[in-house]
Structure 1
């Protein structure tokens, strides 16, 4: 089984592309969705997060606004949160890989793949990209998003041009939905047809 990473900066359309891969029958591990489950109502990480960041959890799980305020822009606090979350996500990913070990290939959807060195050990990296103006328009349309917050997020991410330069495969979403889906289908056919080195 070959393992590919899927990544892209905020607002590039990575979630839509991941859904397209799933519709083509490719198993996709969504790191973000896993974090939501681990931190959601009754989530196994709630006690550790509450102990480290008091007042940031409740019956509905993590209060993302409060936790975000506690760690955003503070590298030390962000590292403390990552030390709680990352090992749990890695354990879930290991279970996912074991469950799908008979498949030709699977995809790990990892938003901060290059930022965390997550590309190591992967067969290849798929980067989702779009023009900067379209990225900005998509992100600023999100509830609670501001131009300042958008700039801050982009500063923390590896630039899109660098991601594209380091990619093994690129999916462009600045085009039509049908064209993006056609790109995904071509890539599935290509990756599914690859044999061992």
Structure 2
């Protein structure tokens, strides 16, 4: 099995790259999706979050009120660390389960937004960073995701600096241009991954 870490700054286009790799045959493990699953109603994860932050982080239906929790932790590094201490181990365990189920010949792409921030690069055979200029990220967040410029800048500032992300990259995919320029790059990277995976078996 070839284990790949995929990351990129918010608005850089990482989701599109993971979608393309998945369409070529990669087994995709999406950390964001798993992070939502492990705090669904009835899970030990949600119980732990409520214990740490109180019942006010629940909706009337008993689900996690993400905007409310986000507002609590976003501006408070200590509370964010508490939340990460609950969610990250659960995500890690579930990701390991999914990777183990993928089979020995699989190319497993782990889509991990906070790969750089959490020092996870050594866990993977190689790391792909999807890169875009900060101005491009800002434009996409405002234009495509409906954030205010202030919100977008705050989200970007909460992530690792661009230079730190690039420092852990084995492969950089430049997504500063239009979408049609992305696909040929990702296809080329996929060919390299197939080659590496074959090399591991030889």
Q: Same fold (TM over 0.5)?
A: yes
Moved more, 100-109 or 120-129: 100-109
Report the 3-state secondary structure (helix = DSSP H, G, I; strand = E; otherwise coil) of the residue aligned with 1:117.
coil
Partner of 2:166: 164
Partner of 1:179: 181
- Alpha-carbon distance, 1:18 to partner: 0.6
Partner of 1:111: 113
Partner of 1:132: 134
Partner of 1:38: 38
- Alpha-carbon distance, 1:120 to partner: 1.7
Residue-pair matches, total:
196
- Alpha-carbon distance, 1:146 to partner: 2.4
Q: Aligned runs of 1:184-195 on 2, under 5 Å?
A: 184-194=186-196, 195=199
Structure 2: runs of 5 or more not aligned = none
Cα distance per residue 1:143-176 (max 9 Å; x no partner) = 4x22222222222222223322331101122223
Partner of 1:5: 5
Assess if the C-alpha contact under 8 Å between 2:116 and 2:164 holds in 1.
no
Query: Matched residues in 1 for 2:158 and 2:138: separation?
Result: 15
Give the TM-score taking structure 2 as reference length.
0.89
Cα distance per residue 1:101-122 (max 9 Å; x no partner) = 3224211110010100111231
Assess if the C-alpha contact under 8 Å between 2:121 and 2:168 holds in 1.
no
Cα distance per residue 1:59-112 (max 9 Å; x no partner) = 262111110121112121111111110111011111111111322421111001
Report the 3-state secondary structure (helix = DSSP H, G, I; strand = E; otherwise coil) of the residue aligned with 1:62.
coil
Report the 3-state secondary structure (helix = DSSP H, G, I; strand = E; otherwise coil) of the residue aligned with 2:184.
helix
- Alpha-carbon distance, 1:43 to partner: 4.3
Partner of 1:50: 50
Moved more, 25-34 or 151-160: 151-160
Partner of 1:79: 81
Query: Matched residues in 1 for 2:134 and 2:74: separation?
Result: 23
Query: Matched residues in 1 for 2:44 and 2:35: separation?
Result: 10
Assess if the C-alpha contact under 8 Å between 2:27 and 2:106 holds in 1.
no
Query: Aligned pair in 2 of structure 1 residues 146, 80: CA closer, same or farther (>3 Å)?
Result: same
Given the alignment of the two structures, is residue 91 of structure 1 paired with residue 97 of structure 2, yes or no? no
Partner of 2:65: 63
